[in-house]
Amino acid sequence: MINFRNDNTDGAPDRIDIYVGKKLRMRRTLLGMSQTDLGQALGLTFQQIQKYEQGSNRIGSSRLYDLAKVLDVPVTYFFEELEEAMVANGITSEGPDLRKDPAAKRETLELVRSFSRIDDQSVRNSILTMIDTLSDLDETD
């Protein structure tokens, strides 16, 4: 098994805590919840939610259970594809920072949330075609 633990002593967040925080942020954003909304549902400040999402504060098991209930996901959601993500990013005990993942960017999550609300498949296909065209144009510049 690969060692995913961040055993350094420089105070940097653990990579697993960062991954769990990223999953928390993705789910919250996809539900259209603000950090304040989530914090209020749990009796926390938005700053605490922010620290959880950054991985700078570790989420305890009872808090993780509460988060799963509020976000309507099983607790295992926060660890789904953890090993695959670490291996795909070449992460062992040392490696790249998961916070740089483009899929975790707020604009990406908002785009996915908005796109998923479009019921008309032809409109969805047109949007995908437009995005593909624009990304091809961007590569030629």
The predicted-structure confidence for 75-134, as pLDDT tens digits, reads as follows: 999 988 887 766 665 554 444 444 556 666 778 778 888 888 889 989 888 888 888 888
The end-to-end CA distance of the chain, in Å, is 43
What is the rounded distance in angstroms from the CA atom of residue 34 to the CA atom of residue 36?
Answer: 5
Nearest Cα neighbor of 58 from 14, 24, 94 is 14
Predicted TM-score (pTM) of the model is 0.63
pLDDT (tens digit per residue) in 14-44: 888 988 999 999 999 989 899 999 999 999 9
Domain coverage including residue 115: 105-141
Length reported for the chain: 141
82: domain CATH number?
1.10.260.40
The answer to whether the beta carbons of residues 77 and 68 sit under 8 Å apart is: yes
Q: Is residue 7 located within the same domain as residue 29?
A: yes
22 and 48 share one domain = yes
Task: Note whether 125 and 138 are within 8 A (CB).
Answer: no
Q: Are residues 75 and 138 in the same domain?
A: no
